[in-house]
Amino acid sequence: MKLTYKTMLFALLLFSLNSIGLVVQAQPVAVDKMAYNFYIVSDAGRNGYYKQKIVAATMGELAENVHPKFIITSGDTFHYNGVRSTSDPLWMTNFESIYSHPELLVDWYPLFGNHEYRGNTQALIDYSKISRRWNMPAHYYSFTKKVDAQNSIRFVCLDTPPFLKEYQLLPDQFPDVAKQDTRKQLIWLDSVLTVSKEKWKIVIGHHPIYSVDSLHGNTVELINQLDPILRKHHVDFYFAGHIHCAQHIQKNGMDYVVSASASLRSSTTFRHDTLYQDPSEGFTICSVKNGTFEFIFVNEKGEELYRYKKTK
């Protein structure tokens, strides 16, 4: 092949970007299948369109080796208008038939996103009585998992849409937001974390507290109301979604992690004051073993984008 001046210049530019860390070649993900593994997926619900089916298939294929114990879905599982009832056809076309791989037939722990609030939020709670794998006991809830004799994890699943003024000001579009008592939720969160004796404390909400994208940015309401409680109790990780891109931010001695969209990437632009950011569609694998908690961003091809470990 004849190398033109432009081709050589492009190759030199690509090499330079790689050398300073702005371009990273994705590699097939490697996960310790003997560890305690689980998935976090967010912003997936597109009725099978865009890349939802592709990401779901990759989740299933990797699960054959990863063997996730459970899956947390951090909101917006049902774009665009939530569900109307427990018999809404979207349950089948957007969830049950999409995540049909045998290794994905584990417990799912869902959260509310803003798009669920466009529909019937109670229907998502009631569906727990219908689906074997859908576990949503309330608008916000907590559960624990024992990893081994030395490791246990406290998970706290929050309901963040009611905190945001933009939804409170649109009762016709988000009718169930006004029914929620955010002060009560914060008191509950503080009480749960106060009595928690687990080694790892993981809090999950749909909306990020901090974000470096130009479209959404930081969530002021959560910075003012939620973040002080998390820092008070030395929470290890706050996982979120909503902005349709993967991000890892460290601030105030805490790790703020945003999972990628499992169906459609963001078209926003970003600032470079974060440990990592990538708009690729995908999901997050979490792995716990021997006092180490690790999360891995994976794209729709099953390639590793970013990996971070915390040990204590």
Q: What is the pLDDT of residue 216?
A: 75
Query: pLDDT, tens digit, for every residue of 69-94?
Result: 999 999 999 988 999 999 999 999 99
Which residues belong to the active site? Answer: 216
% of the chain exceeding 90 in pLDDT: 81
Q: What is the pLDDT of residue 65?
A: 95
CA triplet 289, 155, 40: central angle to 5 degrees?
70
Distance between CA atoms of residues 233 and 105, nearest Å: 33
Question: What stretches of the chain show up as alpha helix (H) in DSSP?
Answer: 5-19, 52-66, 90-91, 121-126, 165-168, 182-195, 220-225, 227-232
pLDDT band at 274; cut points 50, 70, 90:
confident
The predicted model gives 237-253 an average pLDDT of 94
Q: What is the pLDDT of residue 270?
A: 63
Q: What is the pLDDT of residue 29?
A: 87
The predicted model gives 297-311 an average pLDDT of 96
Distance between CA atoms of residues 263 and 46, nearest Å: 7
Mean pLDDT of the chain: 90
- Determine how β-strand 70-73 pairs with β-strand 36-41: parallel
Residue 231, token pair as written in the block: 């820092």
The predicted model gives 23-42 an average pLDDT of 83
Residue 245, token pair as written in the block: 């891109």
Q: What is the pLDDT of residue 7?
A: 34
Distance between CA atoms of residues 117 and 173, nearest Å: 8
The predicted model gives 294-303 an average pLDDT of 97
Query: pLDDT, tens digit, for every residue of 140-197?
Result: 999 999 999 888 999 999 999 999 999 999 999 999 999 999 999 999 999 999 999 9
Which has more confidence, 10 or 251?
A: 251
Distance between CA atoms of residues 195 and 258, nearest Å: 26
Whether the CB-CB separation of 15 and 7 falls below 8 Å is answered with no
Strand, coil or helix: 221: helix
Distance between CA atoms of residues 7 and 186, nearest Å: 57
**CB-count exposure of residue 188 (10 Å: 0-12, 13-18, 19+):** middle
Distance between CA atoms of residues 297 and 283, nearest Å: 6
% of the chain exceeding 70 in pLDDT: 89
Q: What is the pLDDT of residue 217?
A: 83
Q: What is the pLDDT of residue 266?
A: 83
Torsion of CA 54, 213, 178, 163, to 10 degrees: 120
pLDDT band at 111; cut points 50, 70, 90:
very high
Q: What is the pLDDT of residue 14?
A: 35
Q: What is the pLDDT of residue 253?
A: 86
Residue 212, token pair as written in the block: 């470096």
Query: pLDDT, tens digit, for every residue of 223-244?
Result: 999 999 999 999 999 999 999 9
In this predicted structure, the answer to whether residue 20 has a pLDDT above a threshold of 80 is: no
In this predicted structure, the answer to whether residue 275 has a pLDDT above a threshold of 70 is: yes
Distance between CA atoms of residues 276 and 175, nearest Å: 36
Least confident among 44-58, 80-94, 216-230, 260-274? 260-274
pLDDT band at 6; cut points 50, 70, 90:
very low
Name the strands in the sheet holding 246-251, side by side, starting at the edge strand that comes first in the sequence. 141-146, 152-157, 200-204, 237-240, 254-258, 246-251, 276-278
Whether the CB-CB separation of 293 and 310 falls below 8 Å is answered with yes
Question: Which CATH code for domain 34-311?
Answer: 3.60.21.10
